[in-house]
Amino acid sequence: MKEQLEAIRAVAKDVLQSATSLQELDAARVKYLGKKGELTAILKQMGRLSAEERPVIGQLANEIRADLEARIDESMEQIKARMLEEKLKAETIDVTMPSDAKALGHKHPLSIVLDEVKDIFYGMGFSVASGPEVEWDYYNFEALNIPKNHPARDTQDTFYITENMLLRTQTSPCQIRVMEQQKPPIRVIAPGRVYRSDAVDATHSPIFHQIEGLVVDKGITMADLKGNLESFAKSLYGEETKIRLRPHHFPFTEPSCEIDVSCFACGGKGCPMCKGEGWIEILGGGMVHPKVLKNCGVDPDVYSGFAFGIGLERLVMFRFNIDDMRLLYENDVRFLKQF
Amino acid sequence: MNTSKKWLLDFVDLDCTDKAFADGMTLSGSKVEAFAVEGSELSNIVTGRIESLERHPDSDHMWICMVNVGANEDLQIVTGAQNLSVGDVVPVALDNSVVHGGKQIKKGKLRGVESCGMLCSLGELGLTTHDFPYAIEDGIFVLGEDCDRTLGLDIREAIGLNDTVTEFEITSNRPDCLSILGLAREAAATFGKDLKIREPKVHFSGKDVHDFLSVNILAPERCYRYCGAVVENVRVKPSPRWMRERLRACGVRPINNIVDITNYVMLEYGQPMHAFDLRYLKGGSVIVRLAKQGESITTLDGIERALSEEMLVIADEEKPVAVAGVMGGEYSGIMDDTNTIVFESACFNGPTTRLTAKALGMRTESSGRFEKELDPASCMPAILRALELVELLDAGDVINGIIDCDKSTHERRTLPFDPDWVNNFIGIDVSADEQKKILEAIDFEVKDGLIYIPTFRADIEHQADVSEEIARFYGYQNIPNRPLSGVANAKRTPAQKLETLISATLRACGLSEIATFSFISPKHYDKMRLLADSPKRNSVVISNPLGEDTSVMRTTVIPSMLDVLARNYNNRNEAAALFELSNEYIPNGADKLPDENEMVTLGLYGEDVDYFTLKGVAEAVFTACGVTGYDIEPLTDDPTFHPGRTAVVTIDGKQIAILGEVHPLVLKNYDIGVKAYVGQIDFNLLLEYGDTDRKYTALPRFPATSRDLAFVCGIDIPVLKIEKLITEAVGKILESIKLFDVYIGPPILPGLKSVAFSIKMRAADRTLTDEEADAAMKRAIKALDKIGISLRS
């Protein structure tokens, strides 16, 4: 009997070793270890053994059963692992093939820079206001200390609707509207479209964008204007940026200035971007003219303020090195998707 | 304003470099646009004397010259010019020299004869006969007595072509700086120098001016002052080199001594001058008055111009002889036989001059100055200077006396001298003494606590103006930088937040943002097939547009979008998916500003795009904005859109969006060769009905029950209608309803379609029973049955 058992073990071992599928292993399990299997058949004959032999054979039979079961389990694991490996291999794809993700849309470059500017000013505690593009002469000119027949009107060729209604030539009327609606302290920017009758070319457009800024409070000085706009310039162009104020004239600010930033391409050494100057003009501003404050019902003996205006197109063109303003309004998708 | 450095040096001693001068002036408020040394492109050109002239042996027109350029040996130079004589001093371009236009001159041979350089014409020095009237255009420039004829001298020094020309941008509030004197004053204050002003000295000849001329101002509110003087025995000839040189540097072409004097004085004092021929002043009288109805004048440029009653003229007893401050009449100019002239130095009102010049369409150097309001006080020094120059140039005999019709006050405006106010306003700490010094340097007087403002500074009206004067000479760069302090409450408004959200949503949907002009051609309304009586044709009209293309403010953004789609199609871009957040402008009559309505405009074309792409984009916007409960209905009668592929979206009965395929005829009008889809969503309604305030609801704890229902209905019935009826019938246990099949064809009868929905139901507080679900389905079937829609069997 012992020989029979060992023979089964030997045969089964071979069978198991050569098995290549789960079905074969199942068949082997049935054949050797099943209720009607060979090992069971032999164990059924245990009654014929002597009392001394029985435990020995019994122990051997159990040992063989455990051995075969372990071998079957092990082979099963191996086959499963191999099968999984084959399956995964069969599922291989070319991961470099193009995806079918939907392309994202793009922000217009004007919006990219405007959003950046807005974020900087939000961070400095400014709100964002707006005003009508079709505006009264009063708001666009008269309240801003530019009476009828003032020569300054000539530099802003105006589109008129009626004698008193026009397309605003600047965002400065927003200053008046804000001050009429809100008591100081005031800290706002007002971005928007403005209109001047300039024919379209690489650097001119009859429609462009300005960002107006206005701060009114007790004790506001030109030092605040400088500090505030320097912070803005540093946020926009980096910590190394410097600003330079040049005296200028705007009818609605006094003193007035134009403000240059140190060239962000060369750092101020002079390069083609800044035409060798080292400085690039980006905005105009000044202390709000006392007449303007008075026009809006703000007492210039109590309050003072500063205002500034930024040309958005100019910022955008410098930022992305765009040399033709027309591209901004042509909206060719090959242009738009670069941003 | 171009200035000559030599001229400025008459009034202020400048010892800095041209660059330092430019920077200093810019930072004190007189912006330098550019500066350049005249003749700086010329090099290695010197004066030389012709010592001998011989015919070239192999040429019938060339000459071989021996030229003495102050060196040990004379140079042999071949020239083709015919105007030379021995002894002439001429410009000699030596070997390796550069003439005007950058042309290089080298030693060479001309028909076998060596030539060591070139003799130059005026043109080769960049000059014309206006600069040297005695020279000829097509020949060698033979230097006259007015040049330094030292041999071997750099030609630029010899003929005065070495001035520095500085171009200033002068702002409209500073007409006083449109003059050498004004800029010299600024320069003196900027660089801490003295301003050297000298009084003009005139000798006069003895006769009395009143025997020649009378002056009457009939419109004193428009003419503050009129000074007139008379010069007889006028000797018209070219002015001297120094005057021609300075005029040229300032960009004014020299003409003759009298004209040049008027221009010279205008540039030096900023005071426009005019010279009349006395012969053409009937009765020798100058009358400053308004033009009369029906009067006209032929101006110096030969054009007859009709005058109107608001225009100020200079007239004699009979007729206007000049448009005041703008331009003289045709006979008032200086002619070869002019014997006696009248100099005018007057001050006219700014707005009058501006309106007149504008109405006549002739802005002149003179009107451009008057319209900025000039100083009446400068009329007298200017006319004295002109007379002084007449005597200096021996241009005529100055008649004794000047007629001065003066309606101006000569009073200086005053402001309190308040250094603390200035310091507080600017944020600096400059002592009273220092401030006083700054003001005095620009001819303000500080006395007894008052600032006396010079009459030429009409722009100084307020302490703020004084502050600017202090600040710009103290130096803007010396003002401290103080970051803003204090708390400010900055919040994005709901509209601003929504704009950001919509833009982000649309970009996530693959649409790119565009920017278009707000004005369009009214022809677009035809191109988009607006009905003839459509209110959208009523636009805000620009009265002075650049052109028809940009003449009305758009009442809809759709044509702008169509234009951009067309441009992209025309540029052979295969697809475009675009949006714009921008305004339409709806007129409100002359007394009210137009409504500016913000619109979200969508535009698509491309291979994978159809109506449902567009609808999906719009729904994404609604979802993002939290707009629910809107209705979608077919729109069949908008001529811009395909009658069978267009929807109108409404909420509360208000149209929030229109979405559709563009009508083929509109596509044709825009030359778009593919199907295109355009939509427009009303931003204000998104803002009104949107709700971006998100709230949490607990996740469901009980299972959902699903049922599928298919119905047969007329082919024209919108599925949304059925969906809504089911939704209503199922009630609040409805969790979702989804259309999963639409089928047309046998066995469904023609004209009908089968629509199938998957309906999911759930109760928050219990597991729904089958009975409840079935009852809900029965309600739905019944509701649909009522309008003749039956369950598909």
Minimum Cα–Cα distance from A167: chain B residue: B542
8 Å CB contact of B484 and A227: yes
Ordered DSSP codes for A17-63: HH--SHHHHHHHIIIIISTTSHHHHHHHGGGGS-TTHHHHHHHHHHH
Range 267-306 of A in CB contact (< 8 A) with B: 287, 289-291, 304
- Angle made by CA atoms A284, A286, A292, in degrees to the nearest 5: 115
Minimum Cα–Cα distance from B354: chain A residue: A149
Ordered DSSP codes for A58-121: HHHHHHHHHHHHHHHHHHHHHHHHHHHHHHHHHT---TTSPP-PPPPP---HHHHHHHHHHHHH
Out of A132, A223, A249, the one facing B171 most closely (by C-beta) is: A249
Return the pLDDT at A29: 84
Return the pLDDT at B301: 84
Closest CA to B554 of B526, B518, B598, B578: B518
Minimum Cα–Cα distance from A339: chain B residue: B512
8 Å CB contact of B512 and A108: yes
Return the pLDDT at B435: 97
Architecture of domain B413-478: 2-Layer Sandwich (3.30)
Chain B within 8 Å of A93 (Cβ-Cβ)?
A: no
b/e per residue B667-698 (b: at least 16 CB within 10 A): bebbebeebbbbbbbbbebbbebbeeeeeeee
Please give the CATH number for the structural domain made up of B209-406.
Answer: 3.50.40.10
Closest CA to A216 of A288, A145, A283, A285: A288
8 Å CB contact of A332 and B571: yes
CA distance B404 to B385: 15
Parse chain B into domains and list their residue ranges.
2-38+164-191, 43-159, 209-406, 413-478, 494-689, 705-791
Contacts of B503 in chain A (CB under 8 A): 107, 111
CA distance A300 to B421: 12
Instruction: Tell me the whole-structure pTM to 2 decimals.
Output: 0.86
User: Cα torsion for A199, A203, A206, A207, to the nearest 10°?
Assistant: 160
What's the token pair of residue B345? 């130095």
Contacts of B27 in chain A (CB under 8 A): 246-247
Return the pLDDT at B302: 87
Optimal mutation site among A104, A110, A161, interface B, most CBs of chain B within 10 A? A161
- Angle made by CA atoms A16, A22, A26, in degrees to the nearest 5: 70
H helices of B254-337, in order, are 257-269
Range 544-563 of B in CB contact (< 8 A) with A: 544-546, 550, 553
Alpha carbon of A240: minimum distance to chain B alpha carbons (Å): 15
Beta bridge partners of B712: B754, B790
What's the token pair of residue B601? 């405009």
Range 22-81 of A in CB contact (< 8 A) with B: none
Return the pLDDT at A27: 86
Can you tell me whether residue B365 is helix, strand or coil?
Answer: helix
CATH number for B2-38+164-191 (one of 3.40.47.10, 3.40.50.970, 3.20.20.370, 3.30.56.10): it is 3.30.56.10
8 Å CB contact of A105 and B577: yes
**Cβ contacts of residue A183 below 8 Å, gap of 6+?**
none
Mean pLDDT by 10 residues, chain B (793 residues): 94 93 95 92 94 90 93 92 93 95 92 93 92 91 93 93 94 94 96 93 92 95 96 94 93 92 96 94 94 91 91 93 92 83 95 90 92 94 97 95 92 95 96 96 95 95 95 95 77 94 97 97 96 95 93 97 97 97 95 96 95 97 95 94 96 96 97 97 97 91 94 92 93 94 92 94 92 93 91 84
Ordered DSSP codes for A183-207: PSSEEEEEEEEEE-----SSS--SE
Please give the CATH number for the structural domain made up of A109-336.
Answer: 3.30.930.10
Minimum Cα–Cα distance from A123: chain B residue: B490
Q: Which residue has 């159990």 as its token pair? A: A62
Q: How many CB pairs under 8 A join A and B?
A: 232
Minimum Cα–Cα distance from B476: chain A residue: A245
Specify the fold of B43-159. Answer: OB fold (Dihydrolipoamide Acetyltransferase, E2P) (2.40.50)
What's the token pair of residue B136? 């000829």
Return the pLDDT at A52: 84
Contacts of A333 in chain B (CB under 8 A): 512, 568, 573, 575-576, 578
Out of B477, B508, B517, the one facing A329 most closely (by C-beta) is: B517
Parse chain A into domains and list their residue ranges.
2-90, 109-336
Minimum Cα–Cα distance from A207: chain B residue: B517
Closest CA to B635 of B610, B661, B672, B666: B661
Express each pLDDT in A93-136 by its tens digit. Answer: 999 999 888 889 999 999 999 999 999 999 999 999 999 999 99
Out of B351, B479, B516, the one facing A149 most closely (by C-beta) is: B351
8 Å CB contact of B487 and A125: yes
Alpha carbon of A159: minimum distance to chain B alpha carbons (Å): 6
| Helices and strands in chain A, H and E counts | 12, 9
- B363 with A155: CB under 8 angstroms? no
Minimum Cα–Cα distance from A217: chain B residue: B486
Out of B173, B467, B518, the one facing A207 most closely (by C-beta) is: B518
CA distance B279 to B277: 5
- B29 with B472: CB under 8 angstroms? yes
Contacts of B514 in chain A (CB under 8 A): 108, 331, 336
Query: Which CATH superfamily does the domain covering B494-689 fall into?
Result: Bira Bifunctional Protein; Domain 2 (3.30.930.10)
- Angle made by CA atoms B564, B567, B572, in degrees to the nearest 5: 130
Range 207-226 of A in CB contact (< 8 A) with B: 207, 215, 217, 219, 221-224, 226
Mean pLDDT by 10 residues, chain A (339 residues): 81 82 86 82 80 83 85 88 93 90 92 96 93 96 88 77 94 95 94 93 93 95 95 92 93 94 87 86 94 94 96 93 94 96
Domains B43-159 and B413-478 alike in fold = no
What are the backbone dihedrals phi and psi of residue A335, each rounded to the nearest 5 degrees, phi first? Answer: -80, -50
Closest CA to B59 of B41, B75, B81: B81
Range 593-632 of B in CB contact (< 8 A) with A: 593-594, 596
Contacts of B577 in chain A (CB under 8 A): 105
8 Å CB contact of B515 and A152: no
Specify the fold of B705-791. Answer: Alpha-Beta Plaits (3.30.70)
